[in-house]
Structure 1
C-alpha cells in the first residue's frame, strides 16, 4: 500500500492569505522571485478604475519559466530550491538565491483571487491562470487553466504576473509603497525596482530612499567597528546612522534592521534588553549578514521579521551586535557633545572650554550643570544661545576680578555706594579704607603719596646696601624677587594715591563722576585696591604673632 500525503486547501489560506494580507510584504515576495530569476529590472504597475484598485501587474526580464519549471517548481508548495538545485550563483548577476521555503508564491493569493502568469523562456511562451475560489473548492489537488503551452515566440525571456479581482479596496499610494519596499531590500546596482501608479507616476525602490526622511548626523560602517582579527570580519557589513532629531516611532525606522542576501530577515531592533538611553531614539541603519543563510538550521522566520535567537550561533551574534550598538552609542555621545560645542561657539562666540577653564571650581560646577542641561536640547542655537550668553555675562571669564570678590578690608563698606551707582564714591571709599589699614599697621599719621613710603627699604649709598627694612612688610624679603615685589607695592600705592586718590579729594565729586570715573573704572580701581589690601595680610599676621 502506497502512502499519500494530502493537503487541505485551507493550508494555503493560512500560509498565503493570512501571512501576506498587506501589500508591501506580498509584493516583496514577488520581487524576490524576479531577483532569484536573475532579472535586471522589475516593474510593478498598479491599476485603478474610478479610484478603485482593479489590477496589479509585475513585469520582469528574468530567465522566465518553461512548462517543466512551472509544473515542477512554481506549482510545488514548500519546495526547497536550494536543496534541489544547490546554493549556486545565478548565471548573469551571480546572485545567491533569497528563496528557501517555497512559500513566497502564496503571497499572490493574499492580494487577489485571480492570478495570470505569462512567461517566456528560450523562445517558448506559457500562460496559465490560478483562481482562488476554484482552489478552495478543490479537495487535495488543483489544475490551473492553461491558455498557452510552449508557443514559439520571438519575445525576450521574462515573466509577467497579473493579479486581478483584488481584495484591496483603498487606492494605491505608490510613494508610501516604495518607502515600505525600500525597507525590505538592500538593492544592488544590477537590480532596478520601479513602481508605476495609476496616473503613470513612477517611484523607485532604492537604498537612498530608505533613509531619505532622516536628517543624518553621524554614521558608522564595518570598517570602523569590526576589527580585522575578529571572526566576523569580512562576514558582516553595516551602515549605522544617527539622526539629528529623534526618529518618530511611526516611521518604522527606529533600530537596526538585519538583511541577508539583500533581503530583510529581522525587523529593526537594538539587540539589547536595556534601551532606556535616549540614544536609541536617534539610531537607525542596517546590518548585512549573509552567513545566516548558510547555517544548517533555518533560523529565519517565514515572514522574515525575526530570527531564532535561541540558536547558539545567533545567540553569539546577538551578543556581539549588542556590544557594537553600545560602542556606537558611546561614540555618538562624544561626537554629539563636540558638535554641540562647535555650534555653541559659532552661535554665541563663546569658547566653552576656555571659559570653564578660568572659573573657580565651585563656580565651574554650577555653570557646567546649567550649560550641559541646556546643551541636551535639540534647538540649542535658537532656544538657549541667548540664555548661555546671559550666563556668560553674569559669570564671565576670570570672575574673581568681579567687585563681589573684593578683599574683606574694603568689600562691605563699598557695596552700598556701588549698588547705588555711585561709582566714584565707591572707588574713593575703597581707597580711604586701604589708606586707613596702612596707617593702622604702620603707626604713621600720613596720607596720600607720603603714605606709600611705609613700604620702602632705606638704601645707604655709602655701603650700597639696605640698612633698614620697610615699616610695613608684605613678605619676608628673603630674596631679590621678594624685595622687588615689596618695592613695587610702594610704587603701586604711590601711583594709586597720586593718580586717583588725590585728584578725587581735591576736585568736586560732581565734576569727576561720571565723566571720569565710570563703572568699569571703579571696578578696575577696586580690583587694584583689593590686590594691595590682600598683601597687607602678611604684615597683619606678623603683628598678631608679636602680640
Structure 2
C-alpha cells in the first residue's frame, strides 16, 4: 500500500470579504470611489452616480467604458487579488491603470448585500448578481453566481446596481460630491463624473471641488518651492501640486497636504511628522501628485489607500523631504503674512511699522519687536491687529524720547529729514528757513530775514499774532498783554535768526558742537521755540 503524500493547504473563507470589503469600506464615498476608479481604468469618458433614498434605497453607477466580455468577467472581475498591471491587460485608451491589488470590487459589499452587474462589450450583454449572504453560506470551492447573456448592438459600458443597502438614511449629495472629489486628482480632461439624487440635477465631481469652500491667502505651485528644503530628494522634480494657506484658521478636516498617485489618493492629509503646535499648520492645505510612488515594483500604498507605508527607505526619503519643505515654507509664510499685515496697517493707520521701529531708541525697539511678532502670529483679525498697532504707536510714537510729536506740523515737515538722521543742526536750520519763508509769504516783506522780523512783528505792525483772541467771556485782553505778546513775537523771531540761524550758517558746526557753545540740545530747544512762533503766525491776522 502506497504511503499517502502529505501536503499543506492554505484556504480562504468567504468571511475574508467581510474584512477586506465590508469593514474596510463601510462609508459610502470611499466605496463609490472604487467604482469610479474601475470606470476610469475601463477608459470611460463619463460616469453617472445615481443615489436613491426614496421608497427603495439603492445606488447605481453607470459608465460608457470598454465594458467586459463573459470571459473578462470570469478572468478579471471575479478574480479577487488580481494585479492587472502585472498581466498588462489592454484597454482602448492610454490611461495607466490606477488599481493593482484587485480588492477594490470588495468595497461594494461594504455598502449593500445585493450587487447586480450589467456589462456590454462585443455585441453581448452579461448580467449577473452577487449576493453577500449567499457567498457567506456557499459550501462549494468557488462561488458561481447565475448570469444572463443577451445579444445587443455595438454599445459598451458597465452598470453596477447596489441594493439591500446597509445605510438607509438620506444622502447628503453635496457632502458626498466633495468627499469623493478629495479621493481623486485625475488630470484627464476627457473624464467626467456626475452624481445625482433621486434623478435630480447632477453635480459634477471635479478636482477644484475639494477646495471650493476655502479662500486662499497665499498659494505656491510646488515647482516654485521644490528647492527651499535643506533636504535634497532625487524625485523632487517629479512632484507636482499646490500648497495653499488661508487668512483664517481652517477647520481640522481641511488641514494638511494630501498625496495622490496616478490620480488616486495614496495618503490622507497630514504634515509628515511636523509638530502641529505651530499656528502655521492651522492655515495650511493642499495636494501633491507623487506618481512615482505607484511605479515601484514593491507596493507602498495601504489597501484602503489612506496612507503610505512610511517604514521603508523609499518612502522615508520622501517623508523627510516633505517635512523639511514644510519647515522652510513656514518661514516663508510668516514673512509674507507679516508684510501683508504691515501693508494693511499702513493703509489704514498711515503707520509704516518698519520705519516706526527705526525711529525709536534701541532699548525701546528691543521691547516693541517681540510684541509685534506675537501680534503677527496671533489669531487676531486684521482689524484687531491694526487697532492694537495704532494704540501702540500712540503710546510709543516716532522719536519718543524727544519732543517731535509736540512740534508744529510745518516745523516737523521742514526738519524731518535732519531729525530722522539725528542731524539736529540741519533740522533747526531747515525749520528756521521755513518760519522765515512763511513770515515773508504772509507779510509780503522784501527785507532781509533779520530786518523782516523787526518790521512785520510787534505792536501795531503788519502781522498781529493776538488779533484773533478774546477772553472766555468775550471781552478783549488788556492793551498791555497784547503789546507784550506782540513785542515778544518780534524779539523772539529776531533772536531765532540772530542767535540761532546766523551762527549756524557762518560758523563750523563741529566747533559749535564740540565747544558746547551751540549744542544739539540748543537745536532741539530752538525747534520748540520755532514751533511756538509758527503757531502764533498761523493764528495771526
Fold agreement, TM-score > 0.5: yes
TM-score by length of 1: 0.72
TM-score by length of 2: 0.73
Query: Is it true that 1:73 corresponds to 2:76 in the alignment?
Result: yes
CA pair 397-55 structure 1, distance change in 2 beyond 3 A: same
Contact 2:222-2:239 within 8 A present in 1 as well = yes
CA pair 347-381 structure 1, distance change in 2 beyond 3 A: farther
Q: 2:67 aligns with which of 64, 69, 85?
A: 64
CA deviation after TM superposition for structure 1 residue 119, in Å: 0.8
Q: What are the Cα deviations for residues 480-537 of structure 1, in whole angstroms up to 9, with x where unaligned?
A: 44467789959x99xx99x989xxxxxxxxxxxxxx969x959xxxxxxxxxxxxxxx
CA pair 65-452 structure 1, distance change in 2 beyond 3 A: closer
Contact 2:223-2:237 within 8 A present in 1 as well = no
CA distance in 2 between partners of 1:294 and 1:316 (Å)? 16
Query: Bigger shift: 223-232 or 57-66?
Result: 223-232
CA deviation after TM superposition for structure 1 residue 199, in Å: 5.8
Partner of residue 143, structure 1: 144
Partner SS, residue 113 of structure 1: strand
Partner of residue 23, structure 1: 28
Query: Is it true that 1:291 corresponds to 2:292 in the alignment?
Result: yes
Partner of residue 315, structure 2: 314
Partner of residue 129, structure 1: 129
CA pair 176-363 structure 1, distance change in 2 beyond 3 A: same
CA deviation after TM superposition for structure 1 residue 184, in Å: 0.5
Partner of residue 175, structure 1: 174
Runs of 4+ in 1 over 6 A off after TM superposition: 1-4, 403-406, 447-456, 484-488
CA distance in 2 between partners of 1:145 and 1:165 (Å)? 18
Contact 1:38-1:63 within 8 A present in 2 as well = yes
CA distance in 2 between partners of 1:106 and 1:394 (Å)? 68
CA distance in 2 between partners of 1:280 and 1:96 (Å)? 34
Contact 1:226-1:232 within 8 A present in 2 as well = no
Alignment of 1:120-519 (within 5 A): 120-139=120-139, 140-146=141-147, 148-149=148-149, 151-154=150-153, 156-188=155-187, 189-198=189-198, 200-227=200-227, 231-249=234-252, 251=253, 253-402=254-403, 480-482=508-510, 489=518
CA distance in 2 between partners of 1:342 and 1:185 (Å)? 38
CA pair 368-156 structure 1, distance change in 2 beyond 3 A: same
Partner SS, residue 169 of structure 1: coil
Partner of residue 43, structure 2: 38
Query: Bigger shift: 208-217 or 77-86?
Result: 77-86
Q: What are the Cα deviations for residues 308-332 of structure 1, in whole angstroms up to 9, with x where unaligned?
A: 1112111111111111111211211
Partner SS, residue 401 of structure 2: helix
CA deviation after TM superposition for structure 1 residue 82, in Å: 1.1
Partner SS, residue 129 of structure 1: strand
Partner SS, residue 303 of structure 2: coil
Q: What are the Cα deviations for residues 454-504 of structure 1, in whole angstroms up to 9, with x where unaligned?
A: 989xxxxxxxxxxxxx9xxx9xx9x844467789959x99xx99x989xxx
Partner SS, residue 340 of structure 1: helix
CA deviation after TM superposition for structure 1 residue 451, in Å: 10
Partner of residue 480, structure 2: none
CA deviation after TM superposition for structure 1 residue 360, in Å: 1.1
CA deviation after TM superposition for structure 1 residue 178, in Å: 0.8
Partner of residue 14, structure 1: 19
CA pair 178-403 structure 1, distance change in 2 beyond 3 A: closer
Partner of residue 442, structure 1: none
CA distance in 1 between partners of 2:406 and 2:52 (Å)? 80
CA deviation after TM superposition for structure 1 residue 346, in Å: 1.5
CA distance in 2 between partners of 1:172 and 1:206 (Å)? 19
Partner of residue 512, structure 1: none
How many pairs were matched up?
436
CA deviation after TM superposition for structure 1 residue 91, in Å: 3.2
Contact 1:115-1:130 within 8 A present in 2 as well = yes
CA distance in 2 between partners of 1:450 and 1:225 (Å)? 66
CA deviation after TM superposition for structure 1 residue 127, in Å: 0.8
Q: What are the Cα deviations for residues 335-356 of structure 1, in whole angstroms up to 9, with x where unaligned?
A: 1111111111122221111211
Query: Is it true that 1:113 corresponds to 2:116 in the alignment?
Result: no
CA deviation after TM superposition for structure 1 residue 75, in Å: 0.7
CA distance in 1 between partners of 2:369 and 2:159 (Å)? 66
Partner SS, residue 238 of structure 2: coil
CA deviation after TM superposition for structure 1 residue 367, in Å: 3.0
Partner SS, residue 399 of structure 1: coil
Partner of residue 539, structure 2: none
Partner SS, residue 190 of structure 1: coil
CA deviation after TM superposition for structure 1 residue 198, in Å: 2.0
CA distance in 1 between partners of 2:177 and 2:406 (Å)? 66
Contact 2:256-2:270 within 8 A present in 1 as well = yes
CA deviation after TM superposition for structure 1 residue 384, in Å: 3.3
CA distance in 2 between partners of 1:256 and 1:124 (Å)? 45
CA distance in 2 between partners of 1:500 and 1:171 (Å)? 81
Partner of residue 451, structure 2: none
Contact 2:53-2:169 within 8 A present in 1 as well = no
